[in-house]
Amino acid sequence: MQTIGRRTFMSQALVGCAAALALRSASAADACVEILLGEPIGTISPDLYGHFTEHIGGVIYDGIWVGENSKIPNIGGIRKELVEQMRKIKPAVVRWPGGCFADSYNWRDGTGPRAERPCRTNFWVADKDLWDAPDGPQKYEPNQFGTNEFARFCRLMGAEPYIAANVRSLTAWDLDEWVEYCNAPADATTLSRQRAAAGDREPFGVRYWGVGNESWGCGGNFTPEEYATHFRQFTAWVPGYGVDLKFIGSGPNSGDLQWTRGFFAKLTERDKDFLRTVYGWALHYYCGTTGKGSAIDFTLEDWYELLKRADRMESFITGHWAAMGEIDAEHRVKLIVDEWGAWHRQGTEVHPAYLFGQMPTLRDALISAITLDTFNRHADKVAMANVAQLINNLHCLFLAREEKFVSTTNFHVFDMYAAHYNAKSLRTVISAPPVGYQYEGKPGSLWGLAGSASLREKQAVLTIVNPHASQARDTEIVLRGAAVRSGRAKTLTASDIHAHNTFDQPHAVEPKEADIAASGAKFAYNFPPASVTRLTLQLL
Ligand code: AHR
């Protein structure tokens, strides 16, 4: 990277975003992106691009687990095509077994010879008032996919396991034993011998342990104070077997600051040092849906309003971070967003049994990009995030039904954004005319462009969302502290905002990549409407 002197810096400052936009009438650009190479925020951990797999609908059975004797290509029962696609995006971490399912799950049911495992009623069996589906593994859990299978799935993809323990209906002792089953040395204990008998002699070395899930709701209906007491109890003196266990607390729903404040106050009432027992505080935020339709049936107003709702992630992160800082002034505890995504109405499932199996469109791709950019911008605060969920469910990356398999628009965003892995997040100033719209008779407004930038050695990566459904955005891109030698753009967009990939049209929405005319400390770029763009810039 070129180092620039004061004279050059000053002349660049004059062409920064404010100046560029002040001179708008004299230039073609109506927007500006200014990347500040001298202002690193933090390293973008690949853990920010983590995943979530729950025993719900068609996620585990059919989505991941097809069985060793299936005609569907598999690796020891695990869907081969899923593993191959996941390897492309190098997933760092996968959360399992829930979600709400976790607080009704006895991990012992998923161990031992598969033919002898018990069949149990799944948390999501529900009833006709909520949803109904044919009988099957989604209602009556066959426990064919348990701890060993999950650990192998992670190993096949090169990801670390993140296991959520049951706090609502099991004890601290059960957590201790689950850790022992996973991490005790080969042949050392009865449980590690059981693990070996199931085919895995070597320990799994599981570091990440969730202490319950949504403990304010399906995970026990606790008050934050009650939950803090359980957290202290569950995390006290758990044998580590040489593994640095990282416990994750069941954090707030969206903007519930009372849950965050109540937990931190109670946790530390005896001693502030209990903060060291919390690796991460897990926020959940689903931006929901808009309009009356399903995932693929929405109006232009629904498009803008949902993108705006996705953008609330920013204020949830900064709000909870500030609330945590009231007690944890040194910010020993980081945020973890272990469930996020859109949650649309039913109607696009690839099978009626696949609860929440919604079909992602271009709109969901923009939601993914908005959210991942938010995590990048807060790389100093967020230690991990897990999109909900991997396959056949909310905001998924893949859809599968027996032999059929397709990568969704969300997968393509994760693939594009992997270029940020382990790079330094850079402060980036973006100016663009906001987009105005009407939603349910009221005026709404959304920023004109948003994104994030990062730097690794001599490569800068800029990812940008243009939410405007029909207007491209002529943009001046300014690098403060470096100059560009060459660049490439990868763009995900479609002429129809409802565009999505299906089994019949798996390539309907795919990114396109090309060289761009980029050189020096500033250049012009035109961001197409309704798009996610990644600019990869090689620096001098
Ligand atoms: O992802 C679906 C469900 O949403 C999860 O089980 C739960 O944690 C959340 O409410």
DSSP secondary structure letters along 54-100: -SSTTTTBTTTB--TT-SS-EETTEEHHHHHHHHHH---EEEES-SG
Q: Is 100 in the pocket of ligand 1 (CB under 6 A)?
A: yes
Q: Answer for the pair 213, 248: CB distance below 8 angstroms, yes or no.
A: no
Ligand 1 atom nearest to CA at 394: 1
Pull the structure tokens for residue 418: 């992997």
Q: Is 164 in the pocket of ligand 1 (CB under 6 A)?
A: no
Q: Is it true that the peptide bond before 138 is cis, omega within 30 degrees of 0? A: no
Q: Is 283 in the pocket of ligand 1 (CB under 6 A)?
A: no
Pull the structure tokens for residue 520: 């020096």
Query: What's the rounded Cα separation, in Å, for the pair 23 and 55?
Result: 56
pLDDT of amino acid 10: 32
Q: Helix, strand, coil shares of the chain as percentages rounded to 5?
A: 30, 30, 40
pLDDT of amino acid 8: 34
CA angle 374, 348, 285 (to 5 degrees): 25
DSSP designation for 257:
H
Q: Report which of 481, 474, 431, 429 is spatially closest to residue 455, judged by C-alpha positions.
A: 481
Find the helix or strand (DSSP H, E) in which 473 lies. strand 473-480
Q: Answer for the pair 392, 124: CB distance below 8 angstroms, yes or no.
A: no
Query: What's the rounded Cα separation, in Å, for the pair 384 and 459?
Result: 24
Angstrom distances, CA of residue 324 to CA of 55, 266, 354, 527: 31, 12, 37, 37
Query: What's the rounded Cα separation, in Å, for the pair 423 and 462?
Result: 11
| Relative orientation angle of helices 409-417 and 362-377, to the nearest 10 degrees | 30
User: Which of 214, 254, 344 maximizes ligand 1 atoms within 8 Å of its Cβ, making it the mutation to test the pocket?
Assistant: 214
Distance from the Cα of residue 363 to its chain's centroid? 16
Q: Answer for the pair 335, 361: CB distance below 8 angstroms, yes or no.
A: no
Residue of 54, 214, 305, 349 marked catalytic: 214
Q: Is 59 in the pocket of ligand 1 (CB under 6 A)?
A: no
**Helices within 311-403 (DSSP H only):** 313-325, 362-377
pLDDT of amino acid 16: 58
Give the DSSP per-residue string, 325-343. Answer: HTT-TT--SEEEEEEEEE-
Query: What's the rounded Cα separation, in Å, for the pair 138 and 422?
Result: 37
Q: Is 213 in the pocket of ligand 1 (CB under 6 A)?
A: yes
pLDDT of amino acid 18: 60
Residue of 177, 339, 349, 476 marked catalytic: 339
Three-class HEC string of 500-515: CCCCCCCCCCCCEEEE
Chunked in runs of 10, what are the mean pLDDT values of the chain (540 residues)? 31 50 60 98 98 98 98 98 98 98 98 97 83 89 98 98 98 98 97 97 98 98 98 97 98 98 98 97 97 93 98 98 98 98 95 95 98 98 98 98 98 98 98 96 97 98 98 98 98 98 98 97 98 98
81 an active-site residue?
A: no
Q: Is it true that the peptide bond before 40 is cis, omega within 30 degrees of 0? A: no
Give the DSSP per-residue string, 152-218. Answer: HHHHHHT-EEEEEE--SSS-HHHHHHHHHHHHSPTTTSHHHHHHHHTT--S-----EEEE-S-TTTT
Find the helix or strand (DSSP H, E) in which 393 lies. none
The residue type of 138 is Q
160 an active-site residue?
A: no
Q: Is 212 in the pocket of ligand 1 (CB under 6 A)?
A: no
Q: Is 339 in the pocket of ligand 1 (CB under 6 A)?
A: yes
Query: What's the rounded Cα separation, in Å, for the pair 340 and 389?
Result: 8
Q: How much distance in Å is there from the Cα of 203 to the middle of ligand 1?
A: 29
Q: How much distance in Å is there from the Cα of 145 to the middle of ligand 1?
A: 19
Query: What's the rounded Cα separation, in Å, for the pair 227 and 233?
Result: 10
CA torsion sign for 65, 71, 72, 75 is positive
Find the helix or strand (DSSP H, E) in which 446 lies. strand 442-446
pLDDT of amino acid 75: 98
Ligand 1 atom nearest to CA at 213: 8
Q: How much distance in Å is there from the Cα of 389 to the middle of ligand 1?
A: 9
